[in-house]
Structure 1
């Protein structure tokens, strides 16, 4: 059966590939090579495969060449768009930095103005109190002068009555103690002059009192204007700081109370004003001044709290954000993972700064973080600065906002030079941009 099948296949092949012979002739001999149908089929199939492979390879090369050209063009377009976006972000960052600097200057100017106004207010109140005391003294002197004038008038009336009683020797003796009439006339003239002088002094005292009252009225108007300016300055200064803390999700009253309890150095609570030592109730101006002093104390506490919370940027030179807070594609494994901070990319060795006052609790190598600095701040806040190339602080060292703590690098698990910056509250990672953006809106 196999021979019959083979014969049949061979007969079919002979229709398309008849047996051929290739003769090889030499000078002495002639030989030939028999090409059977099966051999011819194998040669044909091999040639067809070779041609097909060449066609497919050529097509792939052409497609790759065309695709590579398209990819290059697309990459160039993406690069141009990316550079344009970076330029736009850089311009926005520079404008924000200029706005923050201008806001800081306005804030400092407002504080200076508040200090000057406070001094003027205290001097004005002191001067007003002195004027009121002077008026009381003048009024007391005026009352004594009026009494003396009434006594002089009474005495003058008695002498005139004695002179007009008849001029007898007995009357004159009783009136002038035996003195001659010339002496009595001199006494009357002196008494009249004294009376006139007392009247002039009284008029002068009344005029002085009126002038002082006018000065007091002018000073009250000036004080009221100073009060209004101080109150407006307090509103402009305190409200943005309160908004900044609330935008960061920080309980303002709790923070202020904590700072008030723990802060005992310069800049503590201001002593309320008191212009009277006689136990009198405080005047409306005194209460108003004390309210302003209370707001100044609150402003001072906000300033202290702002220094202790990370309301700042750890990188002050040119940079770009390469990764935000939240879930992302892992740059190493490609899987979805939680990114617990933000990444700032810049040049190797870029200075890095503490974002708030605090104490260094870690400064060294830490697994995937590489060279890591941890700073513990007030209110249960901790900041982390990872992948550093150089550390510039030690454990236990107290640092201030804006103090250089290290240099940007690529240590640990990274794909390039950058800073990984974290903010943790109570051990839980939160978005650092909450604090950075809240500070940008104020400073």
Structure 2
């Protein structure tokens, strides 16, 4: 049955692949090898499969090479945009801080001017009250004097009538009349002087009222300017704090807990701003209350700045010459040991690429680690640690304090590794977390 099937296949292929014979001649005999149509078809099929496999493998390699090149270009562009945004945000942050300082100075000057104007206003108000009291006294005296003058004139008329009827006592009554006239003249002069003083006092009171009205208008204008300054300061503080608050929350950290720890461990890098206290010993005015809120916001921004420096938000390879080769989570072991947990990020790059600290801290390990090769571990504040593995060189020692951006080693291929790269880990409370959370959280701020 098999021989008959083979015969039929050879007969069908005979038209396209006729039977071939390969002769082999020696000194004593001549032999030949018969190549049947089915054999030729099998050989041609095998050659075609080899050629097709070679074409597919070459295409895959070319596509991988093109993809790797585009990834590097995209990574370079993203790094350039990252650095540009970092520079712009740093500049804007400095401008905001400078503007806040200038606004604080202007606010202090405005408060001093308002206090001086209030003192002058109170003094002018007291002077006006004194003038009004004096005017009332003068008016009462003038009324009393006018009344006495009228009574004296009436008495003079009666005395003159009596003199006409009594000639015997003419000399005595005439003397009395002359005395009354002299007294009346003295009183009239005093009344004129009093009237002039009253007019002067009224003019002074009017001028005092006008000065008080001017001072009130100046006070209202100053209040409007203060409101505008406060509004800009409150807006600047809010706009500056929102990205920082979002950055810490995106990294899975509680901003309030971090700020409490910074307050407890304040290390001589400035200090919290003291609140404004009422100079009168009573309740704060609305402006003083708003100023206290702004000062509290500035103090919170300062604490945010200290917490951000001490937290590993920085990129361990600031040059940007790398590409991500493995993320955080379970993966197939590159050494063929099955599926295992990968507790960090892998950055592939050139041998000797500088590696920097991602935050302020203290080096707790610097040497050879099992599986990690040459590695550095840094302890930061808030229970956070970072680990940098597979280094070619180490530039720090155990116990050394480092700052964010300090060079701690060079990229290498030491330890259990399949190529030149950096293995970067972040631990919180001894538990590994995804470092990409910190890197992405800082993209909108730094």
1:264 and 1:153 map into 2 onto residues whose CA distance is 72
C-alpha contact (below 8 Å) 2:135/2:202 kept by paired residues: yes
Give the equivalent residue in structure 2 for 1:81: 67
2:354 and 2:318 map into 1 onto residues whose CA distance is 8
2:217 to 214, 219, 223: 214
Tell me how large the CA RMSD over aligned residues is. Answer: 3.3
Q: Which moved more, 1:90-99 or 1:185-194?
A: 185-194
Give the equivalent residue in structure 2 for 1:11: none
Give the equivalent residue in structure 2 for 1:133: 119
Deviation at 1:342, TM superposition (A): 0.8
Deviation at 1:332, TM superposition (A): 2.7
Deviation at 1:313, TM superposition (A): 0.7
Instruction: Map Cα deviations across residues 339-360 of structure 1 (whole Å, 9 max, x no partner).
Output: 1111122222222221111111
Give the equivalent residue in structure 2 for 1:287: 289
| SS state at 2:404 partner | coil
C-alpha contact (below 8 Å) 1:360/1:374 kept by paired residues: yes
The 1:198/1:418 distance shift into structure 2, 3 A limit, reads same
The 1:303/1:105 distance shift into structure 2, 3 A limit, reads same
Deviation at 1:438, TM superposition (A): 0.7
1:377 to 375, 380, 396: 380
Give the equivalent residue in structure 2 for 1:196: 199
1:182-331 correspondence runs (5 A): 190-263=193-266, 265-277=268-280, 279-317=281-319, 318-331=321-334
| SS state at 1:373 partner | strand
Q: Does 1:421 align with 2:424?
A: yes
| SS state at 1:90 partner | helix
1:41-120 correspondence runs (5 A): 63-120=49-106
Deviation at 1:186, TM superposition (A): 6.6
| SS state at 1:265 partner | coil
| SS state at 1:378 partner | coil
The 1:172/1:246 distance shift into structure 2, 3 A limit, reads farther
2:279 and 2:97 map into 1 onto residues whose CA distance is 28
Deviation at 1:144, TM superposition (A): 1.7
Deviation at 1:241, TM superposition (A): 1.6
The 1:162/1:173 distance shift into structure 2, 3 A limit, reads farther
Deviation at 1:160, TM superposition (A): 5.3
Deviation at 1:115, TM superposition (A): 2.5
1:145 and 1:266 map into 2 onto residues whose CA distance is 57
| SS state at 2:293 partner | helix
2:128 to 108, 119, 142: 142
| SS state at 1:387 partner | strand
Deviation at 1:207, TM superposition (A): 0.8
| SS state at 1:298 partner | helix
C-alpha contact (below 8 Å) 2:390/2:421 kept by paired residues: yes
* TM-score using structure 2 length: 0.78
1:131 and 1:266 map into 2 onto residues whose CA distance is 38
The 1:48/1:307 distance shift into structure 2, 3 A limit, reads same
The 1:60/1:272 distance shift into structure 2, 3 A limit, reads same
Mind listing any 5+ residue stretches in structure 2 that lack a counterpart? 1-26, 157-176
Deviation at 1:225, TM superposition (A): 1.9
Instruction: Map Cα deviations across residues 38-84 of structure 1 (whole Å, 9 max, x no partner).
Output: xx9xx99xx679xx999988976665455324322321122113322
